[in-house]
Structure 1
Amino acid sequence: MSTELLITVGSLASAIAMFLIGRPRADAVALIMIVVLPLAGVITVPEALAGFSDANIVLIAALFVLGDGLVRTGVAQRVGDYLIARGGSNEKRLVVLIMEVVGLMGSVMSSTAIVAIFIPIVLRIARQSGVSRARLLMPMSMAALTSGMLTLVATTSNLVVNSALVHRGHHGFGFFEITPVGVPILLACIAWMLFAKRHLRGAERGTTLVRPTINDWVQRYSLEGRAFRLRVRAHSVLVGQTLGECGLDDNPDAHVVAIERRARMGTTVLLATSDSNVAPNDVLLLDVEKEDFDVQAFCTRFALVPMRMSGAYFTDQTHDVGMAEVIVPPDSNLVGSVPRSSVALRRHGVTVVGLRRGDAPLARSLQTSKIKVGDTLLVVGPWLSLFTMDSVERDIVCLAMPVESEAFVPVPHKAPHAIACMALVIAMLLTPWVPNVLAGLIGCLLMGALGCVSLDSAYRAIHWRSLVLIVGMLPFSIALQSTGGIDMAADAVLRIAGGWGVHGLLAAIFVLTLVVGIVISSTATAVLMAPVVIAMAAHLHASPYPFAMTVAVAASAAYMSPVSTPVNSLVSTAGGYRFGEFFRVGLPASLAALVINVLLVPLLWPAYLQ
């Protein structure tokens, strides 16, 4: 074994050890390796930095932006509403629907992004249906991981394997080539979770989310029974007037929190300020502080129609209307003022609906209480107003935003544009005329031109840690190739499993990839394993495609560990799961994926050429 190979193997072992202990961060480890390998003379500096110019890295970044467009336009949230409407309180139906929808959306979006989007959605489904969140979050996680087996762009590990094929002179995989393997695995996982969910106890052990929910604040500030939705009739005296002109901007008994107005695509929510105009069929979101307030008389006076509300205190409108808990600092200009009449807060279009002094709520005395230093205020208004207030207001300090704030949709009327852009990108990916990376960039530019994303949101959407991790692990592939390490690894696998036949060899590759994927990320696993199996195919004078496909599938089957993938890490925190639960539920799913892969891959991609 040469000195260069020893250095490479030692560096790789060190990187894996740092991944396992979690220090330093994975992306920092990748940057360290970019520096170490050229300094040791194993590879050149251009080879160490080659990953930054890799087309697949740019494509992965573009896919993050495209996914953000679907989030910002509310496509993902509307899917969550569909799940709530169709699933009801039937646990089995909810599990199937969640896994199907997450799998479908994850086929064109980052699985990590999908889980980040769907955690608050699933938690809301759990609250409204009465189903334990532990029985819904693990199935969602498994579906998100399996979605990586549905299309070429569904996960970064697929693109890494595809890139390894192209770099060695082979044609890459088609957009849907992995789908015939992934769909049966997803169906098997759904069937398994319908049985295994009964053994999930994570959240029942008392694990709670750090962030509060709107329902928590409704109870804490005693807001039950205070919210009303009132539609403005065409002949109402309010039509054509501002809230200030009709006296509803500072009414001592009832305060308009926001105004819902029908738009071309769905509903838009407007600020409720003194200058806000009222139009026919607007819906006023009304907060009533006075206990004996006569809503019927109020509706008769202004020609309003009460509308049904199924949730407590605007919880049905959390996509548009939110809450924030703020505290009053010593130098605040709010000290000594009445909460409802605060000019500083009213200019942001938010309304104070609760006040706590110490542990005592003072929700029914907002017109008489004077704000003191250290008071905690609960404010309500459109999400955009709350975020703006948090970023610019100095008279208050935001203590917390609820979990539901993650479901904020900035440009809901752009949903058709986002869907059209995504459909166009997929169509271009399916054709040989436009390179994949250009298809992704064209989609990003269209999303920006049509207002689905902004430049700032696009940069924020890119998961830079993941990109740096991929770029930092690619030099190992180059180093192992140049030092002969890949050939040695391929020879070792062939000595052990070469006589097992094609099915046995695929099973050995799958298990090896799975074991490596327990301790390091699926992307890093693909970076290490793809060159090995391609070299193995060359030694056998065989097609590399069945071996490369097996690595791609196995890298996405990381069901057993809560630490090897951000998907499981996020769900582990939200669901309160233990390591043993991931292993008990994930092992049978991984074995099912192994069997399906070993049976189908040789049929779809015959291994031997001669």
Structure 2
Amino acid sequence: MTNELIWVLVLLLIAILLFTTGKVRMDVVALLVIIAFVLSGTLTLAEATAGFSDPNVLLIAALFVIGEGLVRTGIAYQMGEWLMRAAGKSETRMLILLMITVAALGAFMSSTGVVAIFIPVVLSVAARMKTSPARLMMPLSFAALISGMMSLVATPPNMVINSELVRDGARGFGFFAVTPIGIMVLIMGIGYMLVARFWLNGNNSDPERERWKRRTFRDLIHDYKLSGRARRLALRPGSPLIGQRLDDLRLRDRYGANVVGIERWRKFRRVMISAGGNTELQQRDVLLVDISANEAGLRQFCSEQLLEPMILRGEYFSEQARDVGMAEVSLIPDSALLGKSLRQVGFRSRYGLNVVGIRRGGEAMTGKLIDEELTLGDILLVIGDWKLIRQLQMQKYNFIVLNLPAEVDDVAPAVSQAPHALFCLALMVAMMLTDQIPNPIAALIACVLMGKFRCIDMESAYRAIHWPSLILIVGMMPFALALQKTGGVELVVRLLMDISGGAGAHMMLLSLFVLCAVIGLFISNTATAVLMAPIAVAAAHEMSVSPYPFAMIVAIAASSAFMTPVSSPVNTLVLAPGGYKFGDFLRLGVPFTLLVMAASVLLVPVLFPF
């Protein structure tokens, strides 16, 4: 063992200890690794920083952008809605459906891409189920890794190992040769996660966990005493409201009714429009009304204006949160609105938003708010179009927007571009399946097209990329080269042959799996497969047995990168959204890897006899 190899192993141990303790950020540790390799002379500057030009890093960044495009166009939300409808309020059913869906999709496209797409879906679903993202992010990651066992093209290691068989003169694996093992591991994974999820709480200081502390529509409805005041009223034919401007109707003065939104037919579907003072009502409109009148007053209002009450799902428009927004607004000391009433200001006409509540001295005010003079310290609850609420944030000379509820994360600003986003996604998947276009280029093409179709803008694209995850991946890549350059990998391989060569075929399968798992802790599963594939085939020839079970065990082991957040980009992607620490992957990943190893060593020889 050379001094250089000892230095690399010591540095690796230090990095693992820092990852485990969590005292230093993982991306900072990764940068320190690059610095240490260059200053020690173990690697050249070009070698240590090669990860910045690695195509896989570019692919991961592009997939972050594509995932954001699916969020902005509402597709991720709709996928979450489907999962919610299918799972109901059962977290158990949600976990099962999530893992099956991810494993099925990952059989035909990049598992990294699947995770990048599903992260916003899981965050949205977890928020609406009021459960921690940590309890679903790890199952998402495990299912994506298991997807590599679902088909021959599911992951690069499978194709690397298949190519080695062909080069050796053997017939390659069939497209679904690995699928029976993958289904078995998926069933095991679901059962394992149904129990292990209770050990997952995530990091309370993580930004995604802070989202749970944000107030929701329901919190605001309770704080401002809005419960029971919402109505959904349709204009009947001949209603005197048809053709009238809202300000001219004076509905608040006459009936205590404040129209905060309007559902209107456009191109054979209902759309939600903002209710401004100059908005003219049309036939077939459905009004979303905040009304303070009692039941007798409501009946009088509906009778005189020919309105028909309709079903309103959710409390005070909470089910309409994608179209109708809420925000708390405070006046600054120099605001021109101080000392004036909402009527004098013409708040609705000027800003297109309706004030439905005022808190003064910590207490919600009741009664006729439109004529109440505004004072310093008042907090206004406004309701209306999300876009107009965003514009109100720019009115810094009058307002401070104090709080946007958690539902703002589910708003899709480019929902009309959803078909284009689906086209971009389908095109990317098709290009990846053909294997004629490199995956990073396919992802970049999809990103450019999403920008062209206005599914995402440049600011949102750059903000969508999780840079710490990329730095972590880039910083850990030099270890693979350093271990190969100093002879560390070759040393371990020679030891493997000495220890297991004469102990029988099953023991060799076990040894190959263990070696793949250990190497996979520090280098990518693709690199592991490249290294181990010829060793597996050579070991089979030396033992005079079929190479297929040996090659297959390497393929399974290469996809079993469950043990650390740096074992696979899939794990790294869920690290921040799940609020995990390095030790969380060790606690859950090591036992499950042992289960997969035991099952594979028993099942592989049955499917692929020696």
Matched, 1:44 2:40: no
Which one is further off, 425-434 or 333-342?
Answer: 333-342
Task: Quote the Cα distance in structure 2 between the aligned partners of 1:545 and 1:262.
Answer: 60
Could you tell me how far 1:244 is from its partner in structure 2? 3.9
User: With structure 1 as the length reference, what TM-score do the two structures score?
Assistant: 0.79
User: Does the 8 A contact of 1:325 with 1:401 survive in 2?
Assistant: yes
The 5 Å alignment of 1:278-317 reads 278-291=281-294, 294-317=297-320
User: Quick one: structure 1 residues 98 and 210, their matched pair in 2 at CA, closer, same or farther if it must change by over 3 Å?
Assistant: same
| Residue in 1 that maps onto 2:561 | 555
| Residue in 1 that maps onto 2:420 | 417
From 399, 404, 411, the equivalent of 1:396 is: 399
| Residue in 2 that maps onto 1:129 | none
Post-superposition Cα deviations, 1:161-205, rounded to whole Å, max 9, x if no partner, equal: 6899899999999998876654443333334556777x67979xx
Could you tell me how far 1:314 is from its partner in structure 2? 0.9
The 5 Å alignment of 1:534-545 reads 536-537=535-536, 540=539
User: Quick one: structure 1 residues 416 and 263, their matched pair in 2 at CA, closer, same or farther if it must change by over 3 Å?
Assistant: farther
From 455, 466, 470, the equivalent of 2:469 is: 466
User: Does the 8 A contact of 1:506 with 1:550 survive in 2?
Assistant: no
Post-superposition Cα deviations, 1:75-111, rounded to whole Å, max 9, x if no partner, equal: 1212232334344456654554454456557757453
Give, as a single letter, the amino acid of the residue that structure 2 aligns with 1:455: M
SS in 1 for 2:444: helix
SS in 1 for 2:228: coil
Could you tell me how far 1:289 is from its partner in structure 2? 3.6
User: Does the 8 A contact of 2:358 with 2:380 survive in 1?
Assistant: yes
| Residue in 1 that maps onto 2:544 | none
Task: Quote the Cα distance in structure 1 between the aligned partners of 2:3 and 2:165.
Answer: 29
Matched, 1:57 2:57: yes
From 273, 277, 280, the equivalent of 1:274 is: 277
From 146, 159, 176, the equivalent of 1:149 is: 146
Could you tell me how far 1:466 is from its partner in structure 2? 1.7
Give, as a single letter, the amino acid of the residue that structure 2 aligns with 1:553: S
* Structure 1: unaligned runs, 5 residues or longer: 127-132
Give, as a single letter, the amino acid of the residue that structure 1 aligns with 2:422: I
The 5 Å alignment of 1:452-463 reads 452-463=455-466
Task: Quote the Cα distance in structure 1 between the aligned partners of 2:300 and 2:414.
Answer: 36
User: Does the 8 A contact of 1:255 with 1:286 survive in 2?
Assistant: yes
Identity %: 36
Could you tell me how far 1:429 is from its partner in structure 2? 1.0
Task: Quote the Cα distance in structure 1 between the aligned partners of 2:322 and 2:522.
Answer: 33
User: Does the 8 A contact of 1:325 with 1:379 survive in 2?
Assistant: yes
User: Quick one: structure 1 residues 414 and 11, their matched pair in 2 at CA, closer, same or farther if it must change by over 3 Å?
Assistant: same
From 107, 123, 140, the equivalent of 1:119 is: 123
Task: Quote the Cα distance in structure 2 between the aligned partners of 1:470 and 1:251.
Answer: 64
Matched, 1:478 2:481: yes
Task: Quote the Cα distance in structure 1 between the aligned partners of 2:78 and 2:492.
Answer: 48
From 210, 214, 222, the equivalent of 1:211 is: 214
SS in 1 for 2:339: coil
User: With structure 2 as the length reference, what TM-score do the two structures score?
Assistant: 0.79
Task: Quote the Cα distance in structure 1 between the aligned partners of 2:163 and 2:4.
Answer: 22
| Residue in 1 that maps onto 2:11 | 11
User: Quick one: structure 1 residues 566 and 425, their matched pair in 2 at CA, closer, same or farther if it must change by over 3 Å?
Assistant: closer
Could you tell me how far 1:596 is from its partner in structure 2? 4.7
Could you tell me how far 1:482 is from its partner in structure 2? 1.3
Give, as a single letter, the amino acid of the residue that structure 2 aligns with 1:567: V
* Structure 2: unaligned runs, 5 residues or longer: 203-208, 542-546
Task: Quote the Cα distance in structure 2 between the aligned partners of 1:239 and 1:504.
Answer: 82
Give, as a single letter, the amino acid of the residue that structure 2 aligns with 1:294: G
Give, as a single letter, the amino acid of the residue that structure 2 aligns with 1:53: S
User: Quick one: structure 1 residues 338 and 234, their matched pair in 2 at CA, closer, same or farther if it must change by over 3 Å?
Assistant: same
Could you tell me how far 1:430 is from its partner in structure 2? 1.0
User: Does the 8 A contact of 2:4 with 2:42 survive in 1?
Assistant: yes
SS in 2 for 1:322: strand
Computing the radius of gyration over CA atoms, which structure comes out larger, 1 or 2? 2
Which one is further off, 399-408 or 260-269?
Answer: 260-269
Could you tell me how far 1:313 is from its partner in structure 2? 0.9
Task: Quote the Cα distance in structure 1 between the aligned partners of 2:125 and 2:60.
Answer: 25
Give, as a single letter, the amino acid of the residue that structure 2 aligns with 1:121: V
Task: Quote the Cα distance in structure 2 between the aligned partners of 1:452 and 1:603.
Answer: 49
Could you tell me how far 1:224 is from its partner in structure 2? 0.5
Matched, 1:567 2:564: no
Matched, 1:79 2:93: no
User: How many residues align structurally?
Assistant: 583
